[in-house]
Structure 1
């Protein structure tokens, strides 16, 4: 397993960019949905580009959708499905995570 963040760092309506493999860029994004962490690859299925326009800016202004700021695609935070934009019907790649008893979020192998 690979440590991602502490659960308390995730806030409803926002997402956190993560670089767990120390590649010098945020390769993942994590968010809180219905009280549970969700983790996705930071890669828009439209043209395989990172989605944020600056650090940790992945969400719509009202916090209800994940947005690819390169192409305007909108994704559901609960399952990563594109609901508007050039990759309609495609999905972000979801990664399995778990929270341990100390509130740490881990990427499952």
Structure 2
């Protein structure tokens, strides 16, 4: 019984150390704001982020996109001028804070409804 208890302690310690190392490595993977990998996005690190469309969208899709984005709590307002979608956030943005907003916007409205499809 004593041997089983010691083996259990070793196993528990190994699991604890593994979770600690994996959490530490995830912290190291974080990128700085200027490293944001989307070439269509500018203004990361400010309250106003601009998404530059590669191809035009229909006006109905743009109005749906605008009302959807304005319904989100973190966004103060959205302006669409030509092929630029200007998103005003309530707080200064970072790569991590806008990544999900931009990806959701691209999936729901931009890639799905692009006129080049």
- Structures share a fold, TM > 0.5? no
Which structure has the highest helix share of the two?
A: 2
Which structure has the highest strand share of the two?
A: 1
Give TM-score scaled by structure 1 length.
0.28
Give TM-score scaled by structure 2 length.
0.27
Which protein has the larger Cα radius of gyration, Structure 1 or Structure 2?
2
